[in-house]
Structure formats: structure tokens, C-alpha cells
Structure 1
Amino acid sequence: MDLQQKSIITTLAESRLRHRREELEEERELKIAEAMTTHKKPAWKCADCRRLIKGNDMFCPACGQFWEDCADNAYQETAASSSMRSQTPSRHTSYRSYTQGNDYWDGWHSHRASSASPRSRQQKPKSQRTRQGEGKGKEGKGKGGKGKGKGNKSQQSPLQGMGQEGMAPLPPPPMPPPSGPSESWMQFAAPYHAAGGPPQETPMNAPSLAETKLKEVMGILKKNETELPAEVAAVMKDNKVNEGMQKIQGMHEAVEELGNAQQRLEQVCFARAQNLASWRQFLHLSVQRWQEYTQRFQGQEKHNLEQIAKARDDVKRAQAIFKELQDRGVITVEADEDPELMDDALMNTESSKKIEDGLTHLTTSLGEFAQQADLEHAAAEEQQKKRQRKDVQAEPTPTGSKPLAAPSMQPFGGAHSG
């Protein structure tokens, strides 16, 4: 084995070792991140009902408020500044040794003992020894008896703050920033390298220096495949298998992306066809509706004109009777002729004619729009049938040559402007 082959084998082994180290480092970071994100959150306290709640609960079970709205800020700050958060007492640890000399826990228990919560007022049943001690303290005379009785009461005060199970509550969590709980916990769980500082992400598409060098080495080895040792040949074989798998995976991804793109194209084309169908239906219904409006207007106008003519006849008859009585001398008041009644019939006829002409023009325009939309729909269906006989990739554009410039899609104002 010459020097060149030894250097190639050494470089290949170093690159594989480096890749293995990087994989182990990534696995370690993922485990750390998972452990940090699944870390149990400490408890928090509600400011309204003064109740201690688990850290995983987002709402207060008593008042039902969200934890950001009802969390006790003073309680959070005091708990964050406490120096006794490194150890959480359990049933088997000494609660007295943990809380002795700690002002925060003494103050918290004194506040909890005076709380109005029903849970804090619950006490453990007194044992027989405690009852005997209290009986002796009450039976004792003088200062000694009183002191003994007080001593028994003072020894029970730490147990009252512990609750029914005799466990000390967990310290509350620190108040998160205003950005929200999810961002604060994600920032808390972000992994860091041992050297310090956040890890620098490398671009996914850009190959690293080790990969580039490995490709160069593999290219040199492919030129002399027949003269390679058995170990190097096995590595080359595994590399070929991996490259083949990567190519197959890339082909599958490309086919899947093409299928998704074609599906999106079909969806948007179907949406456009539905829009055009609804537009044609609207035009036909509009034509029918405005025809009904025109007929209704004509009927109402005819009825109104008949009523006006009848009222005019009544006015003329009343004027004739009034004039006859005036000629006889029965009525001495003169009747003034209304000039509006003279030209009223002509004015009503002209206004009704204008309204009828406008309705007729609108109905005709809507009918033309509907006919043009039907013609465009028929042309699009014929073109779609022709394209189905050809290859799908020859014409990737959706059906319809000018979907946005169709005359039937123009607004009504543009159609009536001429």
C-alpha cells in the first residue's frame, strides 16, 4: 500500500469519525432540549382566591381565570428571590429542617393560615398523645401549665400549613415576560453548547467543509476501484447504496411535489368554474327578477292611472255641481281653478314612460349578459373536451383564454355607460 492510499484511508476514517461525533452531539442536544421542555413547572398562586395551583394548570380551578390575569405578582417575585429552591421536600424529608430560619416560608405559612380558603382550614385529626398533652396543659396550675399548653399549640402551626398530606408546597414559578408563556418556556428550554452561547445554525443547502472534502476523496477512490483494499471497497459500496437511496428519495419528493401542484391547480380551476356557474345563475335570475319587477310596475302604474282618471272625473262632477249652485245664488264663494290639475295627466304619463324605458333597458342588458356568459361557458367546455384528448403537460394553463377580461364579468355601470 503506497502513501497516497494510506492518506486517503486516514482522511476517510477521520471524516467518518467527525460525522459520528456531530451526530452524537446533535442527539445530546435534542435530549437536553426535550428534558428541559418536559421539565415540571413550579406552582403559582391566584391573587383573587389566594389558592396555590399546580404549574401545569393554565386556569385557576376556583375562579376559572387565566393564570396571566389572576397570578399574584408579589408572590411570584418573593418566590423567585428565594434561595431555597434547590431542594423540594417530600413526605420523607424533615419539613422543620427545611423551613427553619427561612423568612419566606414562615411568612407564607402565616399568610396561608389566615387565608379564607377552605383547604387551608383543614387539619389532620389529632392523635391520642396530642390530646393527652393538651389535657395535661389545661390541668396544670400556674405559669407552668399555661406554658405547656401554649407549647403544644405552637408545635402544631407548621403542620397546618402543610395541608392534609403533610407535604410542603412547591416554590412558585417566576413571572414570565409580557410576550407570553409559550415564548418564555421556549427560551428557558433552549440548549447551549458547553463552550457557552447559543449554537450557530448552518444553512441546510450549503455543504460543509467535511462533506466537500469527502466528495473529493470519493471521486479519487472511484477512479481506482479495482486497486482498493477490501475495507475501502466495502465503504465505497455502502456509499453507493446510500447515494442510490438518496436519489430515490429525491425522486419520490419531486413526484409528490408535482402531484400537490397539480392538485392545487385542479382546485383553483374548480373554484373558478364554480364562480362562473354562480355568476351565470345570478344573471339568469336577475333577468327573471327584473322582468317581474317591470311587469309589477306596469300593473301598479296602470292601476294608479285608472284611479287618477276616476278621481279627476269626480272632481269635474263636483266642480259642475258647485258651478250650478253658484249660478243659482246658493253659493256665493268662487272656486279657484288648480293649475296643477291641468298638466298633471301629461306629467304622470311622461314620468311613467321614462321609468318603463329604464326597466326595459336594464332587463335587455341583463339578458345580453346572460347570453354572453352562456356562450363563453359553452366555448370553455368545448375547449376542455379538446384538451382532454391531448397530453396533460402540453397545456398546463387553466381553461379559458381570458378569464379576467370576459365581457360578461364587467360591472353594470360599464355596460350602461354607452
Structure 2
Amino acid sequence: MVTARPRRNGDRKTQLAQVAAELFRARGYHGVGINDIAAAAGLTGPALYRHFADKQSVLSYVLLSAVRDMEAETSNALSALEPPSGEQVGQLLSRIASTSVERRDVAALWRWEGRNLSPEDQREIGKRSSTLLTTWAKVLLDVRPDLPGADAELLCWATLSVFGSVSVHHTTVAKRRFERLLVDIAKRVLSTDVPKPATAEPAPAPLGVGTPARRERVLLAAAELFGQHGFHAVSMEDIGAAAGIAGPSVYRHFPSKASLAYAIGRRAGDRLVLSADEILRTSSDESEALGKLVESYVRNITGSPELVVSFSVGGMHLGESERAELVRIQRDYVARWVDLLGTARPDLNPREAKITVHAALTIANDLARTRRVLARPNLPAELVALMRAALSA
């Protein structure tokens, strides 16, 4: 339970927003009401309305403030040295790492709750984020002039995911060590040689024999819609229409939208675990196993929307047992990566290995749903290269 109370001194609006951010992170945006925020802050609902018009305006304030902070850190770092250099890039990365570690909750909100903003605020944050990434890419091009502009942008998006990865787990180490670890991972990502598209044989045309069973069509349609619009914005009627059946017919296969989401997440998790078991059984050493895990993960994340849905359990109204089961599957899967990386890289302690694994996985999770990079024809191979760079010594 969140019990943080804003202090009398300082900016009351900012303090209230911090309380709300903690609640949104713990319960999800749809699980929090204005009265919940007021109670956690030691206020009444009417008193809170003196600062914010509604819950959506609170979320907007939190996320826009985070973007402004990132803009300020970037401006401060880039004004410190001229012309851009590797040292300047290091300063910029250190500033962003510090902000990310200090404000983990805000990164999580943008990742999972950004779609709950008004269209106007979504556009504003998207515009400012893109401008920020363009600035980073220009600095990188000064340091690596051999890079095509689009590749520089890709590396900067991946770097942003490294820092955003702190929002998907609760593992921590000493603050300075945490920041250095993130900076080291980010530097490796920015130094990645983006693979060139390989000449490949055209894939054979599908046979087109038969059609998926109705239950399978429902699952596929729901995964696609949840991934595009979010769990709460999609109705069972929407899912039925996308699957080509009447809305009420969906209930013959799944009693609720939550049960559908659980089935999607469970199937995606089971697929990853089975693949990991096979890799561990057939690999000759930890490094080979890690490489195969990376390739397996990229195939799954780029081949189906189910995996993206399975990561959004915090924003779905699942039963406690279903939620706990999906979280258990995810943690067990990540633990296999952490064990392998810990053996392959004895320079990392278990917590550092876990932070590093989450950074690599988040790169793939983010870029596989980032519109600016989805059109890249060689994206799967690029994701493999970026993940390997994040994991490397």
C-alpha cells in the first residue's frame, strides 16, 4: 500500500504527482481513482481537484515532467563540451542513467500507461521524444560519422530502452554502480555494428490448407488488438469482429476478457520456456546457449503479438492466481538467462547479471513495437546484434 505523503514545503503539485505515480505503478492506471490519490497524499478528493482537473491530467503531468527533465539533462550535457566527442557522449549517458535510476516509476508509466493519455498529450510527448532522439542521433553521428542516419537513430532508440529497462524489474545495486552498469551497456549498444541485410532465398509460399480453429482465431485476434490498443480499450465484441464471429460467440471459448488475456500470456510463456529447455539441452557451453536464446527470443517477439501482451499483466484485471502464474513463468524464464550470463561473465554478480539481462530483453521488447523502426527490413538480425552487445563483456 502506498502511504507516501507530500511535504508541506516544495511544489505541492509535483509532490502529488509523485504519490500518484507510485499508485499507478503499483495498481495500474485503471486501478487507481482520484480519491485513492487524495487519500495516499493525506488530502480529500475536492482538495486534489484544486491542482488537477482529473486523473488523466495527473498522468499527463507526470510524463511531461519526465520528458522535460530528459531534455534538460541532454541540454546540460551537450553544452559542457564542444565539439561532440566520446567524452561528451559519456557525460550524456551518465546524466540519463542517474535520472533513470532515481525515477524508475516514471519510466514504467510511460511504457505501460502512455496510451491512457489524451491524443493531444500523446502527440506532444511523442513529438518531444522524437526530437530528443534526433538530437542524440546527431551527437552519435559526430562520433561515428560512418553510420547511416537511420542506423544512428536505431542505436539511440535501443539505448533509450537500456535506461527504460530499470522500470520492468525491482533489482537494484548501489546507485553509482547501477549507473555505471547502465552506462557500460549503453556504450556497447551505441558501438554496435548494425548488420547489413543478407541476400536470402525467398520464403516458400504458405500452403493455405485449411483455416485456424475458431478458438485459435479468437486468440490471435485478441493478441493483435490488445497489443495495438491496450487491454481496457478492447471489448469482446471487437475481438469477435476481428476473428470473424459474433461477439457473444467469443464467450463459448473464453468466459471473460481476462481469461483470454491469461490464455495468451500463458501460451507465449510456455513457448519461450520450451524453446529455452531445448537450447539448454543441446548447447555445448553457456555462451552458445545465450546466443541461441537471443535468436529464439527475437524470433518469438517479431513473429507474434502474443509475447508483447504477456508483458502487460500489470494493466490487466487478472485474478490473483492467474497473475501470479504469469509472473512466475516470466521470472523463471529470466532466471535461466541470468544463470547463463553469470557463468559466462564472472565479472557480474547475480544482481548485475539480472539488470543486464533485463536491458537486453527490453531492447527487443521496445523496438519490436516502435513504429519508427518496424519498417526496417533487417530488424530481426539487428535486434540479435543489439541484444548480444548488451550482454557482452
Q: TM-score range by the shorter chain?
A: under 0.3
Q: Which has the larger radius of gyration?
A: 1
Higher helix share: 2
Kindly indicate whether structure 1 or structure 2 has the higher relative contact order, using CA contacts under 8 Å at least 6 residues apart.
2
